[in-house]
Amino acid sequence: MMKIFVYSYREFDEAEYFQKFSKEYGVELGITTDDPTMENAHLAEGYEYVSIITTKIDEELMERFHELGVKMISTRTIGYDHVDIAAAKRLGMHVSNVSYSPECVADYTVMLMLMSIRKMKRIMQREEINDFSLPGIQGRELPNFTVGVLGTGRIGRAVIRDLSGFGCKIYAYDKYENDEVKKYAQYADLDTIYRECDLITLHMPLLEDNFHLIDGDAIGKMKDGVVIVNTARGGLIDTKALIEGIESGKISAAGLDVIEDEFGMYYYDRKSDVLKKRDLYILRGFPNVIVTPHMAFYTDQAVSDMVKNSILSCMYHAEGKEDPWAVV
């Protein structure tokens, strides 16, 4: 029987799916609710396959797993920038991610767009203190926007399809053009999108060549009053440049489900802790910025897909089959 060790096993949402799919596929699970660390890496001894979520697997921890006989690490996420891929390649270890229904993130993205342009954060804050006045909360209508979608993978394509129903003009950017996208959007270079778009939304993986894709120079090229939405990866945006753009008024609103340096914070109860996350406090303080804790993916369908596909990825590798989620 194949064996997989699962770190960060969540009883409240993942457990039913782990039990369902491990039984269905005949897989033996080892589990811990703790994140992987040097102190608990030994728990994976005797397991060639390890499943994780968005927890750091640095070079030291990768080497430790390799010493214990682990052959592959599967992250139950689309993004894999938390895993040291270079170390995995050097050690001959395999890494995979997963896919899940793109609708979860697409729905959330459109929600953040609408909340941002309708000033919903301020409306809700005022309502809480019985301030029902109108000045300062007049919104804008999405059909009047030109929207730029950066990244046209499965999620980006779903967002473009959804936006087409609002009647927006849509520009798209990706290294690899997709015919489905061309039904609804026009591909353009980044400078054109920065110059022409009223709202820019990001749907890319975080790679070395797009780290801080949205920096001070990029923001300077954008239209005055641009709206920025990010449900992809925090590192795609230079946070300091974003804050400066908001303070100057260049950026009129932002909807952020991800930020830089979110590891060790999101998905934990930190309400009694003093967080060394100064940029987070600044962003949350703006009346025109919505910050949510990396929740866009979080639906019942997505959690089921993430667990199932992590198990399947390990099985495909063990059986020598082609793994659609293989990273290295």
Catalytic position from the list 76, 233, 260, 317? 233
Task: Give the contacts of 19 (CB within 8 A, at least 6 positions apart).
Answer: none
Q: How far apart are CA 117 and CA 140, in angstroms?
A: 6
Which residue shows structure tokens 């006045």? 133
Catalytic position from the list 94, 154, 157, 294? 294
Catalytic position from the list 262, 270, 278, 317? 262
76 is catalytic: no
262 is catalytic: yes
Q: How far apart are CA 208 and CA 241, in angstroms?
A: 19
Task: Give the contacts of 324 (CB within 8 A, at least 6 positions apart).
Answer: 99, 316
Asked if 193 and 152 count as a contact pair (C-beta separation under 8 A), the reply is no
Strand partners, 51: 6, 74
Q: How far apart are CA 121 and CA 146, in angstroms?
A: 22
Question: Is 249 buried (19+), middle (13-18) or exposed (0-12) by CB count in 10 A?
Answer: exposed
3-state SS of the chain: helix, strand, coil percent to 5?
40, 15, 45
The three-state DSSP-derived secondary structure of 121-140 is HHHHHHHHCCCCCCCCCCCC
Catalytic residues: 233, 262, 294
